[in-house]
Chains A and B, each alone.
Chain A
Amino acid sequence: MEIKAKQFFLIVGILISALSPFDSFSQNQDANQVIEVDVNDESLKRLLEIIEEKVAVSFSYNPNKLPLSEKITYSAKKSLSEILDDLSDKFSIEFDFVEKQIIVKPKKKVNDKRTSTYTISGYIKDSKNGEVLIGATVSIPSLNIGTSSNVYGFFSLTVPAQEHDVKFSFIGYGDISKTYDHSTAEEVIELKETIPMLEEVVISSGPNPEIGEIQLSKSILRPEAVSEMPALFGEMDVVKSMEFMPGVKAHSDGSTFFYVRGGNRDQNLIMLDDAPIFNSSHMLGVFSTIIPDAINSIDIYSGDMPASMGGRLSSVIDIRTKKGNDKRTQVWGNVGLISTKLGVEGPIRKDQSSFLVSGRLSRIKWIFERENPDLKQLYFYDLTAKLNFKLSSRDKIYFSTYSGRDNYFVDNSGIEWANLAGTFRWSHIVNYRLFLNTTIAASSYDYYLHTDVENNTKWKSHIANLNIKGDFTYFVNPDNVVTFGLAINGHNFNPGNLTTDDPNVQPPLVSIKNAFEGVFYGQQEVKLGEHWGLKYGLRLTTWTNQGNAFEFQFDENKNVTDTLFYEAGEDYNEYRNAEPRLGISYFINSQSAIKLSYARTVQNLHLITNSISPFTSLEVWLPSSINIKPQIANQVSLGYQQSWPNSGLTFNVEAYAKRMFNQIDYEPHAETLLNPLVERELLFGDAEAYGTEVTLKKEVGRLRGWAGYTYSKATRTFDEIDNGETFNAFYDRPHEVNIVSAYDITERITLGANWIYYTGSPYSAPVGFYKFNDQETPVYGKKNNARLPDYHRLDVSATFTLNKPQNTKFHHDLTLSLYNLYGRKNTLFINYNKTEVGENEFKIPANLLEDNRVTSQYYLFRFTPSLTYNFRIL
């Protein structure tokens, strides 16, 4: 309203001045009047007000077009015209006298390509440990232009050939301003982390980097925020934390599965340094594999995926590990109820190379081994390591690896699963505008069910891939960035086979599958004037199935009509897909924007499981092939973003609509284990999702956190299910509320609280019962015809810093977490087939002549306290 009023007065002022006779005498008198001005770190707006007080003139301007909040220290006793000349140079603005009005407007931008320019580029890092800062803002307030650092911390800004004050800022870090002259510059900018203060801090007034991007449907989860959140057993957890992000729906308690915008759980790609992690769970899913200690950034793309990203329909979780402190060695760790973590990082050669090793090992076996002498193994671990070398000012290489394993063995049987991932990356600055990133990433996931350890009888499923890619970023100018690249991926699948040393067991053979994938993409992001931004891109993929493999052909009744055998290396099936991406942004001003996006995504890896369990079970992956077409999604999103820099608040509302094709469901009680004909068990149909997500976020200050509300629908339609009627997906939960908060009571005590609420998940409830062989059997109506009770939970924590962090190199704290504070019984399953044999002890009835069945509900984790000790040696 205030802005509109000012614009109105500006226009009226101009009209009046145009109609009035020009009063040169008065104007000259004002311009030559000598005044004294002395301001220290005041905003331009305040300075203009001071001048207005001293001279009988008033300034008219459009507040959206001037850097009014920009600070200045200025002291002079000069004529008004000389002072205005100084301000004109400093802020790149110009003044026109119209009677007693002075019209202030920005100098015209120099967009002429022929005008000489120079480029400022480099990396933005944390001054303390040398970690690159991803998404840091680089801006020139006087020109109203800016950019942000990419996922490697690199930025490039091409500017007109004149002197510029460039401001570097990042949330939680102090701003730095540097003056650049006419020569091209490339350097490392180091920002210093601000020490938390109890009084509300004033947030950087620079443009919000998220709002300034032509990017929608992207959430940034800061590892620091994850560390502050109350966690089950104090095990701070990246994947579990994501369930508090609007648009992301957790499966349930005890699970690392999640669903994004109406997509199934296999439609989310978790990438750790560009290597996919296929199973992010420990202890069946109670904890996730990714702990925040070794993480630099977590970006969640839930819709408007950049063309460089793909391979899954619904989301990409882009997680980057820390590269290691290249300035000094530091050690950190913690001891909790479940596990012990230890990490060490430091320079190999100061400012040139660094290492990071971080590990977590569970300590739960001892609790049970006395009472269970048959218990052989009961543990999980994670190990993350990274090496970073700066070869020259233009070349850096990184090696990073992740290994995680779960082993649970009792007597002669057990289950285990293991993730292994490794990445080699070479970042090369070709020139000041062209950045090249070359990556070789490999990952594998193995799942074993040991049925007879003595005879080495085990069921094993496996998925692995090798990815080689080159990503180019070309900074044409600050308003025009082109990215392009290509990748080749090799995939190997074992959908589960039984191996044994027992000659009497002859298991069926399920075909191993291989596939080769080629990817080429290109994308341009360009700002069109002050208000408009356009992003368009195209991702082209070819998916080729390769031998050695065999495939079945089926008739319309799913009877096998032929078995096709393919030699090793023989290409036998191909899918080509184009995935256009489009984004249009209207920047209302530097603090608010309206954005629209469209993305088509394609997925060729399919998780085959009809499990409704929240726990990691014996699931297999299959590639797109003769009998399974690629999954395809089209998504349109519309969003409005607003930030209030002085309070540190950002508001985001986003609506989306999504259609998904070639979705997979299953025949009733499909046999997915050790079934060579598993493709016969699959049903194919479509899915639809739409919703609105609202978030209010405050990332810095004494009170931090966010509140979110989501309204969404997710439905599926399959010809073979309910006669083709649409049904609610398991993850259709129309209402969801998330509140995450952290509050510094004192410098050494921080409280955290999370609250989550969502509508209960749909499930198939019986509509009657019948008996067969005296066993009571449910009759089901339409699929997912009922809903579980609504889910809600409050977690709180208190972190006590045990020493004064400013005065010592040893920092340690103690965190008390209370999970599910009010002990809500959140139903996981409802069963109709058990009998109560003792207090809260339920079993399947043995005697079928007794009618003693009850309805029971199963839940996890009521009030669960935990204590965690954290330390850090700097």
Chain B
Amino acid sequence: MNKRLLIILILLATFGWSCEEVLDETIEFENTDLLVVEGVLTNRRVAQKIKLTHPYASQNQPEIPATGAVVIIADSDQNFTLLRERPRGSGEYFTDSLRAVFGKAYALIIRYKGKEYRAFDAAPPGQLLPPLKYEPVEVDGPQKFKITFEDSGVNPNYINYHIDWSGTQECVGQPEECRAKLVYYDLKNIDVQKIYAPEKEEFYFPAQSMVIRRRYSISPAYQEFLRSFLSETEWRGGVFDIQKDQVPTNLSEGAVGFFAVTTVVTDTTIVE
């Protein structure tokens, strides 16, 4: 556990003062045409995806796709790529095979319900992945492992960990139930909220799990977005919380989300 957090927890636990419990409360949902954009172009030559959705009313609900938009990606060499919604009605729009190149600036143009949304970003240089660190943990049953998260590199970045144990004997359900996605954000910043963030759940996985790591280098604008994004997600709910506010965006016309261009480094490890 974060030692600084431990100090606070000790103080709050001193006399059994603090307590958290489930609150049976529903939010007052504002059903608007607010467009949510998630677009992360990478240097990997793949069909790049832009996901368009609308906000949903309560926690854990499925996303509401924004379908029928015209989505275009343009680069600083004035190359234009039209994305197609696949499958229709999914709100997920794909390019043909495309890679974002370091040194170029990219623009996202979305025409949707009479509005034109625009956003810009440029890819920062990539960073090598340090060796994957994991450690065995003592839990009931077969041997389990957990990832050891730590800051690495000199520039802000985040690493997505896709863990798949569907091919192991430990997977007793459907294959999609034997997959996990963990994220470790390393923004190289000092924030009170981050320092005293609430504790994060530990995640254990069995031997022979496949761990695919993707490290995303991030631009200054994307870093700023992620800092706010974490303020409202992973860092929210600590004892030194800050004012709640909308996560800023680089999209015009009041959309939320972010259009980012990143450099990705990836590796795959079988945990033994």
Q: Show the binding face of A for B, using Cβ within 8 Å.
A: 233, 254, 283-284, 286, 337, 364, 367-368, 372, 374-375, 378, 408-415, 449, 451, 459, 498, 610-613, 615, 617-618, 666, 668-671, 673-674, 763-781, 783, 785-786, 825, 827, 829-837, 840-862, 864
Contact = CB atoms under 8 A, between A and B. Distances in A.
Nearest to B146: A846
12 contacts: A284-B8, A375-B10, A415-B4, A449-B4, A668-B245, A668-B246, A770-B63, A772-B258, A779-B246, A847-B180, A847-B201, A859-B20
A254 B15 CA distance: 12
Contacts, number: 267
B195 A410 contact: no
Given A618-B192, A765-B28, A776 B10 contact: no
A671 B239 contact: no
Given A413-B3, A853-B59, A857-B20, A772 B257 contact: yes
Contact of B237 (A766, A785, A833, A840): A833
Nearest to A414: B7
Contact of B19 (A777, A831, A858): A858
Contact of A769 (B31, B55, B182, B246): B55
B139 interface: no
A226 B20 CA distance: 31
B201 A771 contact: no
Contacts of A834: 20, 198, 237
Contact of B242 (A669, A776, A830, A843): A669
Contacts of B24: 855
Contacts of A852: 60
Contacts of B181: 774, 847-849
B116 interface: no
Nearest to A776: B59
A27 B209 CA distance: 119
Given A767-B27, A857-B23, 11 more contacts: A410-B6, A410-B10, A413-B4, A779-B256, A829-B237, A842-B198, A845-B200, A851-B60, A854-B59, A856-B23, A864-B17
**Nearest 3 pairs between A and B by C-beta?**
A768-B55, A668-B245, A851-B60
Contacts of B55: 767-770, 779
A780 B243 CA distance: 12
B233 A776 contact: yes
A779 B34 contact: yes
B159 to A, nearest CB: 11
Interface stretch (B78-86, B122-130, B224-232, B263-271): B224-232
B203 A847 contact: yes
B56 interface: yes
Given A284-B11, A669-B231, A768-B55, A853 B60 contact: yes
B244 interface: yes
A449 B4 CA distance: 9
B190 to A, nearest CB: 5
Contact of A846 (B34, B200, B240): B200
A129 B247 CA distance: 61
Given A777-B229, A786-B28, A859-B19, A772 B200 contact: no
B57 interface: yes
A375 to B, nearest CB: 7
A374 B17 CA distance: 22
A806 to B, nearest CB: 37
B234 interface: yes
Interface in B129-164: 160
Nearest to B225: A772
A611 B22 contact: no
B199 interface: yes
Q: How large is the interface on B (under 10, 10 to 19, 20 to 34, 35 or more residues)?
A: 35 or more
Interface of B is mostly: loop
B16 to A, nearest CB: 9
Nearest to B6: A410
A768 B232 contact: no
A459 B192 CA distance: 11
A830 B25 contact: yes
A233 B32 CA distance: 49
A848 B182 contact: yes
Which has the most chain B C-beta neighbours within 10 Å: A284, A674, A778, A864? A778
Nearest to B38: A772
B61 interface: yes
Contact of A778 (B3, B20, B244): B244
B77 interface: no
Contacts of A833: 232-234, 236-237
B73 interface: no
A409 B7 contact: yes
Contact of A415 (B7, B60, B244, B256): B7
A673 B235 CA distance: 15
B191 interface: yes
Nearest to B13: A368
B169 interface: no
B192 to A, nearest CB: 5
A776 B56 CA distance: 10
B76 interface: no
A764 B244 contact: yes
B28 to A, nearest CB: 6
B53 interface: yes
B201 A673 contact: no
Contacts of A772: 36, 38, 229, 257-258
A617 B14 contact: no
Contact of B240 (A611, A666, A837): A611
Contact of B192 (A617, A666, A781, A859): A617
B174 interface: no
A233 B15 contact: yes
Interface in B52-69: 53-61, 63
A332 B103 CA distance: 74
B11 A410 contact: no
A855 B25 contact: yes
Contacts of A233: 15
Contacts of A832: 27, 59, 236
A441 B8 CA distance: 34
Contacts of B17: 254, 286, 860-861, 864
Contact of B30 (A410, A611, A767, A848): A767
A502 to B, nearest CB: 14
B64 to A, nearest CB: 9
B222 to A, nearest CB: 11
Contact of B180 (A498, A849, A855): A849
Given A410-B7, A843-B199, A845-B201, A669 B192 contact: no
Contacts of A286: 11, 17
Contacts of A618: 192, 240
Nearest to B180: A847
A408 to B, nearest CB: 5
Nearest to B245: A668
A473 B205 CA distance: 77
